[in-house]
Structure 1
Amino acid sequence: MAAGEASGDLLAGLLLSGMRRRWPDLSSFGIGGPQMAAHGFQAWWPYEKLAVRGYVEVLRHYPEIVGIRRKLKERLLRERPQLFIGVDAPDFNLDLEAGLRAAGIRTVHFVCPAIWAWRPERIDKIRRACDHVLCIFPFEPELLARSGVHATYVGHPLAAVIPLEPDRLAARVAIGLPAEAEVVAILPGSRRAEVQHLARPFFEAARLLRGQRPGIRFVVPALPALKPAILAAARQAGLGEELLVLDGRSHEALAACDLTLIASGTATLEAALFKRPMVIAYRMNELSWRITRRKQLQPWVGLPNILAEEFVVPELLQHDATPQALATSLLEWLASPDRMQAVRERFTVLHHRLRRDTAALATDAIGKVIANAS
């Protein structure tokens, strides 16, 4: 297996839990993180080595990433596993899967690349690389089938893990937040470059919001490797006791909050499953931004909006993601309880659409791939 970031590690960990139940003697190895390790996964490299987003940022790390992929491929060709599962990270995994499949190793890709959002030309590479694709959104298998790619809708694993009715009070008690305070969760991303571009404007927006809502509290779930940069950005923005920085625990932070300011990515879907109104934002290197915008096929970048096919929650991207604009969007949510309740109801419907026994469905599909290789 190879997972390339924190969200991939989480998805792969949920998948491994089902695989270990079906195959107790399963041996798994490759690139991953602590969620995978909890199910016996042996990480030859940590997923942080691949956690890079943006064209310019990838170019800076390109030699190291290509070197890891070459070494991983060589080792897998020696080990000859029954199956390779690439977990998201399509720029890394699809080329690797194509090489392994050409050498007779069965390949599964977990999470269909977003060919419906951008880069539709990837479908040819998916057809060459994958024996099977595990899809987390219901419309994807039909889309892949049109191009001759075998796929199964398995639901979104997080929809089965996150409760339909999160317990806000219990989460606040667990992380030490007041029961009655207004709480905003701030999630500036799980990659170093995201924190570099987003943490300061996010915290400056929080400072502006504090000026309008004096009793408000902020909670920030931080990966340990990124915590120093997050704390530095918070100090520079002038935040103090009203800010609680956690070691990880993003699900507790989302359960505890009333509202979240969040970087575009998988975390936005997690926030939707926790039924939390949000303001989605993103910034990246300017050249990367220009290239990305030219390839975008849809008007939305946030997963809740893509799935709803409308702007259910605001998106402030690149030059629009100023502290003042972010603070204003947050204030608009807090000033409209009816709007917040309406979006919570929309997100409950979405949760039911995505809630399946993902581990069992995915494991059944994987079992068929392995059986066909026998």
Structure 2
Amino acid sequence: MTLVYLIAGEASGDVLGARLIEALRRRRPDLTYTGIGGARMAEQGLTTLFPMQDLAVMGIAEILPRVIKLRNRLHQTITDIAARRPALVITIDSPGFTLRVLRAIAPLGLKRVHYVAPQVWAWRPGRVRHFPGLWDRLLCLLPFEPDFFAPHGLNPVFVGHPVLQSGADQGDAIRFRAQFGLDGGAQPLILMPGSRRTETARLMPVFRETIARLAPHHPALVPVLAAAPAIAPELAAQAASWPTRPIIVTDPATRYDAFAAAAAALTKSGTSTLELALAGVPMAVTYRVNPLSAALARRLITVPHVAMINLLANHALVPERLQSDCAPTQLATTIEDILTNPAIAATQRTGFTQALSRLKAPDGLPPNEAAATAALEVLGQ
């Protein structure tokens, strides 16, 4: 049996890894899988070295108390790879951990693939000079990434974006309304404050006041708070004091049903904009960090937009309300425009279709199949 070693460090990577293993198993039933992953990868046959949750920490405040444990997990992973000498190592996103692993195992001469290109094209692009020699193939999710990485000899290949396989466009509006007792006139407003406490701490109070401004003019408006399961209880406690109590959804299926029923959405920047676009939900994007981080970001960011859907569209398809504009008055006005002007929603939906078409793999394969093809090419070299 041929051993493939996969490493994922967070929930999104676990989903990617599971879909990749599923595609690999169809092509090569002789492969076996070990490494680091979560429940989804385990369902596909991966034996994990330790719980993936040990790596799923974000932000300086969360990482510092766990530095020693993370360092030990890094050493444990490197030692395990050296002992097993797999035929192929596939690292998935989580660059803070995975790139350190790749750098450490480079002298072993193993075949290596990195899945999800580091987004250095967005800020501090000079960091790309540290990447040569880390992998044999870089699997890119965005169509413009190969043009950035290829001149540096990093062997990129565009494999399509996994949001196309997410099911975000398969929700059932009738089921959602029935589940939560909403009549046909209700206007669900999706609120997506992020999955990290540093994000939600800044956005939840703003969302509360935004709803307070919208509610008197839109009595049919129903806030729907999409919450990561790990922090859902905290968000529910905060939302208990909102003037209009939101529906809280945590699992993807219910979230996608909510998308199907939604009149509009207010979301942080990130992959959530692609999910909403796939579901055809008109939206506004917002984000706020501390002023020092914002000042630093303005010096380092090299792209014209923060919303992924705007980067794909190559213009401000959806409004971005950032920093000082991430305020209740501005956000309420922006959502009011979407709710009351059908032309805005129609323009966004047309733009979504055009932008998302760029996320399809060039050969027409589903993203996980395209990724499996690229990985097997490296394995066969």
Aligned pair partner of 2:86 in 81, 89, 101: 81
Q: How does 1:135-150 map to 2 (within 5 A)?
A: 135-150=140-155
CA distance in 2 between partners of 1:4 and 1:271 (Å) = 24
CA contact (8 A) 1:157 1:355 kept: no
Query: Percent identity, aligned pairs only?
Result: 35
Q: Tell me the residue number matched to 1:8.
A: 13
3-state DSSP of counterpart to 1:184:
strand
In the alignment, structure 1 residue 340 sits paired with structure 2 residue 345: yes
Is residue 244 of structure 1 aligned with residue 247 of structure 2? Answer: yes
Q: Which amino acid aligns with 1:147?
A: H
Are the structure 2 counterparts of residues 53 and 182 from structure 1 closer, same or farther at C-alpha, using a change threshold of 3 Å? same
Could you say what secondary structure the match of 2:70 adopts?
Answer: helix
Whether contact under 8 Å (1:85, 1:110) holds in the other structure is yes
> What residue number does 2:223 align with?
218
**CA displacement at 1:270 relative to structure 2:** 1.4
Q: Which residue of 1 aligns with 2:375?
A: 366
Does the Cα contact within 8 Å between 2:138 and 2:156 map onto a contact in 1? yes
Instruction: Measure the CA separation in 1 of the matches of 2:131 and 2:165.
Output: 27
Confirm whether residue 31 of structure 1 aligns to residue 36 of structure 2.
yes
Q: Tell me the CA shift for residue 341 of structure 1.
A: 0.9
Q: For the Cα contact (< 8 Å) 2:313–2:354, is it kept in 1?
A: no
Native 8 Å contact 2:169 2:256 kept in 1: no
- C-alpha distance after superposition, 1:81-121 (max 9, x if no partner): 22222222222222211222322222211111223211212
**Residue 205 of structure 1 aligns with which residue?**
210
Give 1:167 shift.
4.9
Q: Mean alpha-carbon deviation: is it higher for 228-237 or for 11-20?
A: 11-20
| Cα distance between partner residues in 1 of 2:71 and 2:330 | 39
- The answer as to 2:283 corresponding to 1:278 is yes
| Cα distance in 1 between the residues matched to 2:272 and 2:376 | 29
Moved more, 280-289 or 170-179: 170-179
Measured against aligned partners, the alpha-carbon deviations of 1:290-345 in whole angstroms (never above 9, x if no partner) come to 33332111121110111122211122223432233222221121121111011101
SS state at 2:200 partner: helix
| Alignment correspondent of 1:297 | 302
Question: Is the Cα contact below 8 Å between 2:273 and 2:309 reproduced in 1?
Answer: yes
C-alpha contact 1:195 1:229 (8 A) present in aligned 2: no
Give 1:120's match in structure 2, choosing from 122, 125, 138.
125
Larger radius of gyration: 2
Asked whether 1:100 is paired with 2:109, we answer no
Mark the CA change 1:188 to 1:166 in structure 2 (over 3 Å): closer, same or farther: same
How far is 1:148 from its partner? 0.9
Aligned amino acid, residue 21 of structure 1:
R
1:164–1:348: 8 Å Cα contact kept in structure 2? no
- Partner Cα distance (1:192, 1:26) in 2: 39
Aligned to 2:233: 228
In 2: Cα distance, 1:69 partner to 1:160 partner: 31
Shift of 1:245: 1.0
Matches within 5 A, 1:260-279: 260-279=265-284
- The DSSP-based 3-state class of the residue aligned with 2:125 is coil
Check conservation: 2:122, 2:303, Cα contact below 8 A. yes
Distance across 2 between alignment mates of 1:353 and 1:53: 30
Which of residues 44, 67, 71 in structure 1 aligns to 2:72?
A: 67
Q: Which moved more, 1:14-23 or 1:51-60?
A: 51-60
Structure 2 CA distance for partners of 1:327 and 1:38, relative to 1, 3 Å = farther
What CA distance in whole angstroms lies between the structure 1 residues aligned with 2:282 and 2:59? Answer: 27
Which residue among 129, 135, 160 is the counterpart of 2:134? Answer: 129
Residue ranges of structure 1 left out of the alignment (5+ in a row)? none
Structure-2 separation of matches of 1:312 and 1:167: 26
Shift of 1:122: 2.6
User: What amino acid maps onto 1:369 in structure 2?
Assistant: V
Count matched residues.
370
Structure 2 CA distance, aligned partners of 1:47 and 1:202?
31
Q: 1:166 to 1:144 in 2, by over 3 A?
A: same
Deviations 1:243-291 (A, max 9, x none): 2112322333333322111121111211122221112122334444333
For 2:283 and 2:203, locate their aligned partners in 1 and report how far apart those are by CA, in whole Å: 15
Give the CA RMSD over aligned residues: 2.5
Rounded Cα–Cα distance in structure 1 between residues aligned with 2:93 and 2:209: 32
Taking a change above 3 Å as real, the CA distance of residues 156 and 76 of structure 1, as seen in their structure-2 partners, is same
Partner of 1:260, secondary structure, is strand
Q: Distance in 2 between matches of 1:33 and 1:58?
A: 20
Change (3 A) 1:21 1:172: farther
Give the C-alpha shift of residue 191 in structure 1: 2.1
Q: Which one-letter code corresponds to 1:361 in the other structure?
A: A
1:156 is displaced (CA, Å) by 0.9
TM-score by length of 2: 0.87
